Amino acid sequence: NPANRPTAKDLLETDLMQLQLENDLSYKRGLEQGNEAQKSAEEQLKNSQQAMHEAEQGKRVAENKLCGVISATLDGRECDDARLRVIGLGIVEGLQLIFATYPLDRITRVHSMSYFDLTGPCGTEVIQQLYAKKPFGPLLRLLQHNDGDVVGDAIGSIYNILIAGTKTTLESSLHPHFEAIESCGGVERMFAAFRRGQNKNVKDTAALCIGQLYRARECSNKIILHETILHLIQLTKDAKIIWSNSAKLRMRGLAANNVNLAEIEGCGFNIQDGCNL
């Protein structure tokens, strides 16, 4: 029927509607594909994060196990060969990397104790190899730790390295490791740990370290000098002979400098009478 035949306009509108419908369907399919791709990417990211988390957990377990083996093998034992083997395996660099870069709350006693056990009791060669690894920066960072035992291990490790330098040089000479400590702001950081005084071990050992470093060397910071001397004077009377003798030796070293000696005498302490071993 010619009257019912669609006009050119009707055909055009029908084609446009069909084209619009196809565009809408294509857009919808695109959205669905985009959503699927996003879901797939999110799932892959989730799986990747889970894998990374599991790998990190595995790494921590392996670290703790290795550190535990080191401490179980070396704790309190004079075994230089074993210590030198551990150093040769690159484990010291790994521990120092942990100390220098990990968030402090991720560094635990098992890490710090394993390093401390490497520092003694042992011979000079072991300490020389540890010193060659530039340990002071990483160890000094641990002095900010909230766990007093971790701080105690760190300051104890520093002390053991310093004492080896003390024993291998003349009592009247400057300490050979002063510049290495000073380059890290070490005296100030040890004094801060001394003042925090998380436990007696930390406070005593920090004072002994500072005393060693200023052997025959003027300490220009009068507050550090005064408070260190006062504590060392108390420590010369400690019930434990190892602590009292160590304090007396540090006082004798300080007294080798006239400025330090004047401060010691100003605190009412007589070197001749108070430092007999």
Per-residue pLDDT tens digits for 199-249: 999 999 999 999 999 999 999 999 999 999 999 999 999 999 999 999 999
Which residues lie closer than 8 Å to 120 by C-beta, 6 or more apart? 127, 160
Cβ pair 265, 274 in contact under 8 A: no
* Distance of alpha carbon 200 from alpha carbon 203, whole angstroms: 5
Q: Which residue has the tokens 């080191």?
A: 70
* pLDDT of 274: 78
Q: Which helix (H) or strand (E) holds 69?
A: helix 8-74
Tens-digit pLDDT profile for residues 59-83: 678 889 999 999 999 999 999 999 9
pLDDT at 60: 76
From CA 150, how far away is CA 109, in angstroms rounded? 5
Question: Which of these, 181, 91, 88, lies nearest to 140 by C-alpha position?
Answer: 181
d(CA 246, CA 243) in angstroms, rounded, equals 5
* Torsion angle of the four alpha carbons 143, 148, 154, 157, in this order, in degrees rounded to the nearest 10: 140
Q: What are 135-149's pLDDT values in tens digits? A: 999 999 999 999 999
Residue 90, phi then psi, degrees to nearest 5: 85, 10
Using a cut of 0.85, tell me whether the model's pTM lies above it: no
**Nearest CA-CA partner of 73 in 91, 55, 60, 59:** 91
Show the domains of the chain with their CATH numbers. 77-194 (1.25.10.10), 214-277 (no CATH)
